A and B are shown apart, each in its own frame.
Chain A
């Protein structure tokens, strides 16, 4: 029983970076743009998120404030990178796949370079501590699993219904869904397709930046070149896996993270199982699930990946 509680209480905070990044990516894709540069924005977010508390407030009494500043800076730069990406693929209509890979390499490379310049070696920060919820965290089983995490974990899961509401119940969400599915229809009814795509990419970028800063401030509490470790790409895959729906995306993020927690637990328990295979487990699981999940043409953004040009005659 303890073993299971361990996996669950470890897996849930693991899922947060993926959850935030893939909800951001969901807004991108719902608007018709897939951003493979998510990984790069996360790397920048991770570096900037930890840079603020490391350089001005290391270990000081008000480090909570600096953490917030770090998260904020990560989100602002993430949004700017999203807008930059929009400039390339929306305004100039560059192919999204290639441009995304470019952004990924740019982000990861720049973050690593700046890290060596400003911080240098391996340095840890106090980061964001756990905030057990009074009362609830004392409940056996449920307490340690659900109510003994840092504040971002709670906020990330609260963001799931909020993202659903934004996407399906607000005028902005309606516009996002329309420009990703039939931009010509949206245009004919007076919606500025490219403007909505810029907005969605800014939101997606901000969330990717936040996800990266979560890793460096709350999960690992340090920065290294490999901190993102492919999570940006997994986030893109989870959006497909979750059929562009926040709740299903949350399911995917949890599935992946629990598999990761499981493999760590297997290693920790000293069970005689080659650890190389254990490490592979979550990735293999994503591939299998993606291979067997049926594509749903009826619900997804059917203009995903296509740039919009009003005067191009069809």
Chain B
């Protein structure tokens, strides 16, 4: 297909249907977008948003339906065809090669710079400068991707897409990994860009949808359930349409509990994978029956903190007093037996063994306990009963209890982990990004469970980047920045603005 510079005045998809084994991912979808518009494509996880966009970009082939640009039917057999037509997509998981520079990543798609024996990097560099100037996006072409923060990587993705000639942008959950400030900046940027391009914007954060989009299309189970103009509908209307029922994320409204300190971290020093100090004299105290939210941009020591408390990372020095015992550098087994519960960051690789069945994953921490084993044998009946009980109690949607845990959806995997951790009756729980990537229904359920065990007197350390989650649930909010606690705020003092400033590394309010 020839590269065109023609404007895209109208893009229309008609009756798109795509089946995956056992799933109808797109069900007769029709939608339309005109020049200069921003369309928000909204829906829960698994609603088929990303599949539809992958079809639009030529990554998947639709089973039925057609795509029209300016009224003419087009066929995209590969992403190259979609680029040639002027479409560009920023994927949710950034499509960047970590061990190459920004320049090389962009050159990868910039075919004009590919002479057979030499890569014309200067040509790519000129193009980057041109785009950066036009849209006010600054990037360092010579930085390696692994050196960049998530926000910077996203900017690289945008620059890349624009350098390759996109006149129609598709953004798949562009704010899911950004700080509140970065999100605001992105929204302003996209608004400015929309005077020259059309944008499809996938999100399930309703505030952004309200702020940014002109039109809204809601998908549920692969089908369009609603279309309309954004300004005519409130966020709660949209949420109800998205999930099919009224959603009410629970709030922590109880008075702060006056428990005793149970987890007391004193001048903790821990190294990161790359060998520098990720936690630098960190101090934090958490009482029984309270939720402390740890707010911060990821990469400021959250992972290292959670891992060192759970015995998964070496403590250089400092103490972790847990019910009066220093558990620093104790084995994970010892710490689990001491009553620590843990919902890890990577649910698929750290939270479960994906190839094990759901019922096996539910007893993973108790294989030596009398309840589930006798002599050297597992008690299969007890294991089955445990799984059946938890499946009902935690509303885990699975065909049976013997299914491989890895084949469940993200929300159900998280429920399996939560069920295992809570049913063990821990004395304390560390929950890392417990609702990351989950839809509203699953998030609601998990938040209710967390509030319930808080009510029972269990202390919780909630690590999250989602300020709404932290503000909804926490009794106190601690802000982490570069391996130290910037400040601990009571719930009444914490709001998006105060936290955002602290997360950006400003310690006192005076400068802003």
Residue from A178, A188, A313 in contact with B100 in the complex, judged by beta carbons closer than 8 Å: A178
B114 x A182 contact (CB < 8 A): no
Instruction: Give every chain A residue within 8 A of B219 (Cβ-Cβ).
Output: none
Interface check A225, CB cutoff 8 A: no
Q: How many B residues are at the interface, by size bracket?
A: 20 to 34
Interface presence of A311 (CB below 8 A): yes
Q: Is B114 in contact with A187, judged by CB distance below 8 angstroms?
A: no
**Do B118 and A170 have beta carbons less than 8 Å apart?**
yes
Contact of A170 among B117, B146, B160 (CB under 8 A): B117
Residues B97 and A177 in contact, CB atoms below 8 Å apart: yes
Verify if A306 is at the interface (C-beta below 8 Å from B). no
- A181 CA to B97 CA in the complex, in Å? 6
Contact between B20 and A174 (Cβ–Cβ < 8 Å)?
Answer: no
Of B20, B80, B104, B116, which one neighbours A190 at CB under 8 angstroms? B80
Q: Which residues of B contact A187 (CB under 8 A)?
A: 59, 79
- Find out whether the CB atom of B89 lies under 8 angstroms from the CB atom of A190: no
Does chain B have a CB within 8 A of A169?
yes
CA distance A311 to B99 in the complex (A): 25
A191 near B: Cβ within 8 Å? yes
Q: Tell whether, in the assembled complex, residue B108 and residue A182 are in contact, meaning their CB atoms are under 8 Å apart.
A: no
**Are B119 and A182 in contact, with the CB atoms below 8 A?**
no
Among B109-149, those with CB < 8 Å from A are 109, 113-119, 144, 146
Q: How far is the CA of A192 from the CA of B79 in the complex (A)?
A: 10
Q: Find out whether the CB atom of B108 lies under 8 angstroms from the CB atom of A175.
A: yes
Tell me the complex Cα distance, A12–B100, Å.
33
Given contacts A171-B114, A186-B108, A189-B109, contact A299 B80 (CB under 8 A): no
CA distance A186 to B95 in the complex (A): 8
- Judged by a CB distance under 8 angstroms, whether B362 is at the interface is no
- Asked if A182 and B109 make an inter-chain contact with CB atoms under 8 angstroms apart, the answer reads no
Residues of chain B within 8 A of A177, CB atoms compared: 97, 99-100
Q: Does B342 contact A (CB under 8 A)?
A: no
Given contacts A170-B119, A190-B79, A191-B108, contact A298 B99 (CB under 8 A): yes
CB closest residue in chain A, given B79:
A190
Using Cβ atoms and an 8 Å threshold, which residues of chain B touch A186? 97, 108
Indicate whether A300 sits within 8 Å of B99 (C-beta atoms), given known contacts A190-B80, A190-B83, A311-B60: yes
Q: Which B-chain residue is minimally distant from A297 (CB atoms)?
A: B273
A311 cross-chain contacts in B, Cβ below 8 A: 20, 60
A171 to B59, CA, bound (A): 22
CA distance A186 to B98 in the complex (A): 12
Let me know if B78 and A190 touch, CB within 8 A.
yes
Q: Is A302 an interface residue (CB 8 A)?
A: yes
B91 at the interface (CB under 8 A from A): yes
Q: Are the C-beta atoms of B108 and A302 separated by less than 8 Å?
A: no
Kindly list chain A residues whose C-beta atoms are within 8 Å of the C-beta of B94.
Answer: 185
**Contacting pair A181 B98 (CB below 8 A):** yes
Which residues between 9 and 57 of chain B lie within 8 Å of chain A, taking CB atoms?
20, 57
Known contacts A174-B119, A313-B20: A189-B108 contact under CB 8 Å: yes
Other-chain contact of A302, B20, B98, B115 (Cβ < 8 Å)? B98
Please give me the residue from chain A that is nearest to B107 by CB atom: A174
User: CA separation between A300 and B95, bound complex, in Å?
Assistant: 17
Alpha-carbon gap, A14 to B118, bound state (A): 33
**In the bound complex, do residue A188 and residue B98 qualify as a contact, i.e. CB atoms below 8 Å apart?**
no
What 1/0 mask marks residues of chain B from 160 to 186 whose CB sits below 8 Å from any chain A CB? 100010000000000000000000000
B83→A188 contact, CB < 8 A = no
Taking CB atoms, residues of chain A closer than 8 Å to B144 are 298
Quick check: is B96 within 8 A (CB to CB) of the other chain? yes
What CA separation (Å) do A311 and B119 show in the bound complex?
A: 30
User: Which residues of A are found within 8 Å of B79, using beta-carbon distances?
Assistant: 187-190
CB atoms of A169 and B97 under 8 A apart: no
Within 8 A of A (CB), among B83-106: 83, 89, 91, 93-100, 104-105
> A310 on the interface (CB 8 Å rule)?
yes
Which single residue of chain A is at the shortest CB-CB distance from B95?
A: A185
Within 8 A of B (CB), among A141-175: 169-171, 173-175
Bound CA–CA A185/B146 (angstroms): 14
Given the known inter-chain contacts A187-B79, A188-B79, A190-B79, please indicate yes or no for A182 contacting B97, CB distance below 8 A: yes
B311 CB to closest chain A CB (Å) equals 23
Taking CB atoms, residues of chain A closer than 8 Å to B118 are 169-170
Query: Complex Cα distance A174/B118, Å?
Result: 10
Per-residue CB proximity of A178-211 to B under 8 Å, as 1/0?
Answer: 1001101111111110000000000000000000
New A-B pairs, 4, CB < 8 Å, besides A177-B99, A187-B59, A189-B164: A170-B116, A185-B94, A188-B91, A192-B78
8 closest Cβ pairs, A-B complex = A185-B95, A171-B114, A189-B109, A190-B80, A188-B95, A190-B79, A182-B97, A181-B97
- Could you name 26 residue pairs across A and B whose Cβ atoms are closer than 8 Å? A170-B116, A170-B119, A171-B107, A171-B113, A177-B97, A178-B97, A178-B100, A178-B108, A181-B97, A182-B96, A182-B97, A184-B93, A186-B97, A186-B108, A188-B95, A189-B95, A189-B160, A189-B164, A190-B79, A298-B98, A298-B99, A298-B144, A302-B99, A310-B60, A311-B60, A313-B20
Report which A residues bind B (CB closer than 8 A).
169-171, 173-175, 177-178, 181-182, 184-192, 298-300, 302, 310-311, 313
